[in-house]
Amino acid sequence: MKHLLLIAAGIALLALAAAPGCKPAPADDEDTSRPAAFGYQQSVHDALLEEGRSAYLQYCVGCHGDTGDGNGPAAKFLHPPPRNFITAHYKFSSARAGRLPTDADLKRTITQGLRGSAMPAFRLLSTRTVEALVTYLKSLSPRWKEEDASMPVPLVDDPYRREADKSEAIARGEALYHGLAICWSCHPAYVPEAKINEYVVAFGNPAREGFRPNLHLAEAKPNSEGIVLYPPDFLRDFVRAGTSLEDLYRSVAAGITSTAMPTWYDSIEIPGANPGDPPRASAGDLWAIAYYVQDLLKKRPPLLKPNTFNLRAYAQGIYLHGPPPKPTQATTPESEQPTNFEPDF
């Protein structure tokens, strides 16, 4: 009898220890998304996985589906459709196009969302829950076990960082965009044909004979799953993975998985025409492209006109017994009233 009691107490203690709330938080540099061989680490992984599963069922299942195949009940109304976590063709990542994203990439997507698509920003989830969701997403595809962990493409120094005036960076970006990287084979061109050829020749290539029709519009492209995607027109559209220079550097340097957009980091090094000449292009130029694209994005029309009335800040009460007495003078001068301008354009 005594033995039985001891065993029961032992089991109760073990069960307590296994309760998710009792687990010590994983260290920052610990990769908890891969099952560890045994012992303590294994149970940390299991607890995170379980938390991830329940958060997934609460927040993600409606779009991404029960099994994670991207076929939730809302999916048929969405374009682009929600990501299929089983095939795991994640688009926005710091790793080379075609490779799996890093944990940091997944965390960024979950907390910041993908603007211009249905993917919301889950800013209020705790770091622990986001970590748990990442662990769960990674359990949905065998690719995470089969493939080595991805490395982000290197973040080279921004050669223009210290310059107060970025116009040189933007001009260099315009030349690279049109004359070397030929981004306009999918995205729109933003300068006339003659100017494009000027840039092409300056990079040492023969002038183009002809240009695609609708050169100044985006060219829709099917991705590897047959879904037609629209390369953004930077003067008009949203970009999903963020508008900061670093976000744009990442999108251009790493490329976008399963789309026609390649990893530019691997093809931007162009040596000079003769030995001893400076290179015609190098990795630092990825920053020039980022400055140029960001400059185009800044020129987009605001989503709402400036000084439109902000309903949320100035809610009108519905009074059953007449409104309260009016203040005798306006408390907020018009110039200080909030506008609906987007803070991060």
Binding residues for ligand HEC, per CB under 6 A?
Answer: 59-60, 62-64, 74, 78, 80, 82-83, 90-93, 106, 109-110, 114, 117-120, 122, 133, 177, 181, 183, 185-187, 221, 229, 231-232, 239-241, 248, 251-252, 256, 259-261, 264, 289, 293
Write out the two tokens for 21. Answer: 């709330």
Write out the two tokens for 22. Answer: 């009792």
- Rounded to 10°, the helix 2-18/39-59 angle is 60
Contacts of residue 59, defined as CB under 8 A and 6 or more positions apart, other chains included, come to 122, 125, 133
Q: Of 189 and 229, which CB lies nearer to ligand HEC in the complex structure?
A: 229
Q: Of 78 and 156, which CB lies nearer to ligand HEC in the complex structure?
A: 78
Q: Give φ, ψ of 108 to 5 degrees.
A: -60, -45
- Taking the complex as a whole, the smallest distance from the CB of residue 27 to ligand HEC amounts, in Å, to 23
- Taking the complex as a whole, the smallest distance from the CB of residue 264 to ligand HEC amounts, in Å, to 5
Contacts of residue 211, defined as CB under 8 A and 6 or more positions apart, other chains included, come to 189, 193, 196
Q: Of 212 and 305, which CB lies nearer to ligand HEC in the complex structure?
A: 212
Q: Give φ, ψ of 237 to 5 degrees.
A: -95, 170
Q: Of 93 and 139, which CB lies nearer to ligand HEC in the complex structure?
A: 93
Q: Of 47 and 110, which CB lies nearer to ligand HEC in the complex structure?
A: 110
- Taking the complex as a whole, the smallest distance from the CB of residue 183 to ligand HEC amounts, in Å, to 3
| 8 A C-beta contact, residue 238 and residue 115 | yes
- Taking the complex as a whole, the smallest distance from the CB of residue 320 to ligand HEC amounts, in Å, to 37
- Rounded to 10°, the helix 167-175/193-202 angle is 90
Q: Of 48 and 63, which CB lies nearer to ligand HEC in the complex structure?
A: 63
Q: Indicate the helix (H) or strand (E) that contains 107.
A: helix 103-112
- Taking the complex as a whole, the smallest distance from the CB of residue 289 to ligand HEC amounts, in Å, to 5
Q: Of 230 and 339, which CB lies nearer to ligand HEC in the complex structure?
A: 230
Nearest to 81 by CA among 117, 121, 120: 117
| 8 A C-beta contact, residue 92 and residue 256 | yes
- Taking the complex as a whole, the smallest distance from the CB of residue 219 to ligand HEC amounts, in Å, to 7
- Taking the complex as a whole, the smallest distance from the CB of residue 180 to ligand HEC amounts, in Å, to 8
Q: Of 58 and 307, which CB lies nearer to ligand HEC in the complex structure?
A: 58
CA distance between the termini of the chain: 71
| 8 A C-beta contact, residue 113 and residue 120 | yes
Half-sphere exposure in the Cβ direction for 124 (13 Å, CA): 2
CA 156/CA 245 separation, integer angstroms: 13
| 8 A C-beta contact, residue 51 and residue 132 | yes
- Taking the complex as a whole, the smallest distance from the CB of residue 332 to ligand HEC amounts, in Å, to 36
Q: Of 45 and 83, which CB lies nearer to ligand HEC in the complex structure?
A: 83
Count CB atoms within 10 A of the CB of residue 308: 12
Length of the chain: 345
- Taking the complex as a whole, the smallest distance from the CB of residue 70 to ligand HEC amounts, in Å, to 8
